[in-house]
């Protein structure tokens, strides 16, 4: 065998070994460029929509929890019977459409318990640690409801009063939210898809809206959890029951 042929076979063998080495590394490490790309982002958390000082609800507070956004049906009120608003419902924040018949009234948590709040009759007390809301009714009794509360950093404590009530409340995302998520509707009428649910009680500090609410939800699985940006979520059947028992000016204590 000539020297040139010997050199050729040696070079070919070295090339094969080098290629096999690269193949092995590629199989072990995967595509090297994938390590320079950011990991795929999870679906936007809506829920929608972090112990620090209390802050107003954020963009994640009024959106379905951990579920990609679905544009609300444009004609969701079609074929729905127009409803007369309750006399205490603010018409500027309510939708005169009857969805109450679609609510599963058996999906409720309300029950009478011994009142341990120390508050007088007619006062709402929210225990954020136990994730319960109590309406004191007198004679040592209260009505207890399960609620969803603010997640870490968004929880708050204090005293407020109900300054506004809404029937199938509409929802208008604030401008900063629309800048962040331009696919959101500029306004959503009240309905089954609305994240505020069947009723809303707006909490005020004197004449100032605190931006916190007690409201229903289109995500019943979030009730009993700490997932919101400070607002108090209730099952729709529960919030309808509470709405009918309290009026504007009702004292609300959050502990």
Residues 18, 20, 24, 25: what is their CA dihedral angle, to the nearest 10 degrees? 20
Check the CA dihedral 85-89-94-99 and report its sign.
negative
Among residues 65, 112, 187, 215, the one annotated as catalytic is: 215
Longest CA–CA span in the chain (Å) reads: 111
Pairing between β-strand 132-138 and β-strand 158-167 as defined by DSSP bridges = unpaired
Q: What is the mean pLDDT of each run of 10 residues along the chain (255 residues)?
A: 49 46 31 28 34 47 40 48 91 95 95 98 96 97 94 71 97 80 89 94 95 93 82 96 98 96
The reported pLDDT for the residue numbered 82 is 85
Q: Is residue 239 within 8 Å of 168, Cβ to Cβ? A: no
CA distances 100 to 74, 194, 199, 216, 219, Å, are 20, 14, 10, 12, 16
Is 231 designated active site? Answer: yes
Is the domain 59-69+80-254 a CATH 3.30.390.50 member?
Answer: no
Predicted pLDDT of residue 56: 52
Rounded-to-10 torsion of CA 151, 143, 245, 119:
-80
112 catalytically annotated? no
Q: What was the pLDDT predicted at 176?
A: 75
């Amino acid at each position: 065998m000539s020297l040139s042929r010997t050199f050729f076979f040696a070079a070919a063998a070295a090339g094969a070994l080098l290629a096999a080495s690269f193949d092995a590394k590629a199989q072990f490490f995967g595509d090297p460029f994938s390590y320079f790309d950011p990991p795929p982002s999870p679906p936007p958390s809506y829920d929608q929509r972090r112990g620090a000082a209390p802050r107003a609800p954020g963009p994640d507070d009024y959106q379905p929890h951990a579920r990609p956004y679905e544009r609300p049906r444009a004609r969701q009120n079609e074929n729905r019977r127009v409803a007369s608003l309750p006399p205490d419902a603010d018409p500027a924040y309510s939708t005169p459409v009857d969805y109450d018949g679609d609510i599963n009234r058996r999906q409720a948590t309300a029950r009478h318990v011994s009142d341990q709040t120390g508050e007088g009759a007619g006062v709402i007390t929210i225990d954020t640690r136990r994730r319960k809301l109590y309406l004191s009714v007198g004679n040592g009794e209260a009505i207890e409801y399960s609620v969803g509360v603010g997640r870490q950093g968004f929880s708050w404590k204090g005293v407020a009063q109900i300054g506004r009530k809404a029937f199938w409340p509409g929802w208008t995302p604030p401008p900063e939210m629309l800048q962040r998520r331009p696919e959101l509707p500029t306004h959503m009428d009240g309905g089954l898809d609305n994240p505020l649910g069947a009723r809303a009680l707006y909490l005020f500090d004197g004449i100032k809206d605190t931006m916190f609410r007690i409201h229903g939800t289109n995500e019943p699985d979030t009730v009993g959890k700490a997932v919101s940006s400070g607002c108090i979520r209730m099952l729709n059947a529960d919030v309808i029951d509470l709405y009918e028992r309290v009026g504007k000016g009702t004292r609300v204590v959050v502990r």
